[in-house]
Chain A
Amino acid sequence: MITRETAKKSLHVPVRAVIKGVKDEAPGVRTLLLEPVEGQFPRAGRVSRPGQFNMLGYPGVGEAPISYSMLPPGKTDAKAEELFGHTIRRAGRVTGYLEKFKEEDEIFFRGPFGRGWPVEEARGKHLLLITGGLGLAPLKPVIEMAPSLGLAGATLLHGARTAGDIIFKAELARWKTGGAVEIGLTVDNPPGNFFKKRQDRGLEGFEKAIGEIRTGLITELIRPLQIDPAKTVAFICGPEIMMRFASRDLMMKGMGGAGIYVSMERRMRCGTGHCGHCQIGPWFTCKDGPVFSCAQLRGLPDVII
């Protein structure tokens, strides 16, 4: 049980976790399954929400904000069931260092921080998820909990650079079969050549399971959509430029900025609203976000949403 007092004092002290599993998702992208072993990690289910992030790192190297791609399951005290996941792309100092880590290595984190996706707002409505590249990771927990959200329906539109860059292939196939989410996929570069060269990797099987992979930008998948603006909530995650075009397309279909949510990426040094690096206008991305509605962001300087 963490009291307010100890939580405050442990602000700077990371939690130790052991890597219990490593999964290659795409070139330069890996998922780490983590088990917290020591420290004041808010226990499962109590605080962790989809869309939140941890400051993940190693002492001497630094920390980087990484979203949950798998939530701690919650409501159980059994250690083994407290595994949670982060999907990480090699980008710089911290993520490059973490790339060397293997199973049973120790890693450190602080968190979880931020406000997550407002899943309760989607109750009774159609939930539209639009993701680009690694942006699928922070929404994966939402997709997994979709059947329990009381949605009128759910659609996932995902875009990647090439078919090889599509993460969570097994999960995508599973979600497709599960039927709770409709799935549309697109890649910037045509998949044809790719499959011809790499048939042995089982990607052909993936295409069979998932159906057609379109070619083109994610907006190609958005434009044909039929949307009832009043009964739709959209969660968008990906590069900011992609979120800009996706959200604008939805607005052209009549959706208001208040029903469109995006997850913003900014430089972060603390996660706790103190270091100031993550500011967007009056907001701190770490504590007021990273999930914002477009209404909160549009018109602020240094934002292209």
Chain B
Amino acid sequence: MGARRPRAGFFKFTCCSGCGFELAYFQRCLEETLAAFDFAFFRLASSSGTPEGPFDLSLVEGAVTEPFQIIELKKIRQRSKVLYAIGSCAITGGIPAIKALAPEAQVEGAAYKERLYGLASTRPHVINDYVQVDGFIRGCPPGERDLFEALSSALMGKDPEFTEYSVCMECKMADNKCVLVEEGLPCMGPVTNAGCGALCPAHHRACYGCFGLMGQANIHALKGRFRELGHFSEEDIENRFFTLFGALGKTERK
């Protein structure tokens, strides 16, 4: 509708940059996307550009693990009309959150031979612990469906509608074999937010929950099911839920 292209920014905190790559290689419509938006700041696509606002749309990837990131994040929020968290690190803590499972000094000791006095690492946090987030583009890397919904909604000026149901729904709609019911694999699909199109089960693997838990996830019921399968130790089961993509969940639940 409007003639002006929306100004967009892509910001990175602690993560692998995979979400940025996902956007840069946005399979279905990279060209249209670049044409539709004025990417004023997107380090992966261009080294020029300024993080100064204002932005119509900001996408923020990565977990917050250092104090300066908090300040930066708050600035980004102030300069952005709409801010979406993109990817599991920003939304659930993702891989960087694994460090929450051990004391800070121990993590630093493992990562660096000498104690670095300039290092100011904090406990990992998801970005909506610090700023108001308008929506979550889940996944690791983020699912194309929700990314597409976020971008097209920003262009149209409407609120996006993200997926809010289980991976099992997508799995069933694809008529995949159920690896949990038929093969006894510890599939996280029943409690994991959809968006990936049931990628792992489609390839005969158990979902490991990379999109994060869906709302009202009944963790203890699925744990009970995994126990019944008989071939997993209590630690295996615990890890399934509370490492990789659920480390923050573990520490928060304590």
Q: Which residues of A contact B (CB under 8 A)?
A: 60-62, 92-93, 96-97, 100
Contact = CB atoms under 8 A, between A and B. Distances in A.
A93 B161 contact: yes
A59 to B, nearest CB: 10
B159 A93 contact: yes
A60 B159 CA distance: 11
- What 5 pairs across the A-B complex have the smallest Cβ distances? A93-B159, A97-B158, A61-B158, A60-B156, A93-B158
Contact of A96 (B152, B159, B161): B159
B67 interface: no
B157 interface: yes
Interface in B133-184: 152, 156-159, 161
11 contacts: A60-B152, A60-B156, A61-B156, A61-B158, A92-B159, A93-B159, A93-B161, A96-B159, A97-B156, A97-B158, A100-B157
Contacts of A61: 156, 158
Q: Main SS of the interface on chain B?
A: loop
Given A61-B156, A61-B158, A62-B161, 14 more contacts: A60-B152, A60-B156, A60-B158, A92-B159, A93-B158, A93-B159, A93-B161, A96-B158, A96-B159, A97-B156, A97-B157, A97-B158, A97-B159, A100-B157
B1 to A, nearest CB: 9
A92 B156 CA distance: 15
Contacts of A97: 156-159
A62 B152 CA distance: 14
Nearest to B159: A93
A60 B152 CA distance: 9
Nearest to A62: B161
A100 B161 CA distance: 19
Contacts of B159: 92-93, 96-97
